[in-house]
């Protein structure tokens, strides 16, 4: 199916798992805005969202996971990983990495490395030693939505909504 839209429900043939529903937070803003209770990466809480005041926009038109701009570099570091045996090339979506768990209150959304990784890895050479490493990195969109949504806004794009 090239594209499809359903009003007033969903087509169970187009869903791969159980459906979960979350309340819209601040509906007056006009977004599919959700409250994030917490985020963990590799089992470690992300300090930025520990107070339960992060938000997320569910957006079918965004192809990446959007993360708050102020935390983007830190999240990239948490998700980057060395690949054993230093391969010449590989699809990083097939390389294990830490889970991202987004707590939306009544349920969690878990993203695996295959959901957030760039397909191509990066070869890094350490200047001091000349040692090479093959590193897999995340594919994230830094989000800076300004005062309307605050500086702790995420965008739950295609990696979450597929």
CA 7 to chain centre: 27
CA gap 25, 34 in Å, rounded: 5
pTM above 0.75, yes or no: yes
CB atoms under 10 Å from CB of 136, counted, come to 24
- Within the chain, residue ranges assigned H as helices are 72-79, 113-116, 158-161
As a whole number of angstroms, the distance between CA 14 and CA 143 comes to 29
| DSSP tag of 74 | H
Give the N- to C-terminal CA distance of the chain in Å, as an integer. Answer: 14
- Predicted confidence (pLDDT) per residue in 24-67, tens digit: 998 898 888 999 999 999 999 999 999 999 999 999 888 999 99
pLDDT digits (tens, 9 = 90+) for 107-145: 999 999 999 999 999 999 988 888 889 999 999 999 997
Class of residue 37 by CB neighbours under 10 A (exposed 0-12, middle 13-18, buried 19+): middle
């Amino acid at each position: 199916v090239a594209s499809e839209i359903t009003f007033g429900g969903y087509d169970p043939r187009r869903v791969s798992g159980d459906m979960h529903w979350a309340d819209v937070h601040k509906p007056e803003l006009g977004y599919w805005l959700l409250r994030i209770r917490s985020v963990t990466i590799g089992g470690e809480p992300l300090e930025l969202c520990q107070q339960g005041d992060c938000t997320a926009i569910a957006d079918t038109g965004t192809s990446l996971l959007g993360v708050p701009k102020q935390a983007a570099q830190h999240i990239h570091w948490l998700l980057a990983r060395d690949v054993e045996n230093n391969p010449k090339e590989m699809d990083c979506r097939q390389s294990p990495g830490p889970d991202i768990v987004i707590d939306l209150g009544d349920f969690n959304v878990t993203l695996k490395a295959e959901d957030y990784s760039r397909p191509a890895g990066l070869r890094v050479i350490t200047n001091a030693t000349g040692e090479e490493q093959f590193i897999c990195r995340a594919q994230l969109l830094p989000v800076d939505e300004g005062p309307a949504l605050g500086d702790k806004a995420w965008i739950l794009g295609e990696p979450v909504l597929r």
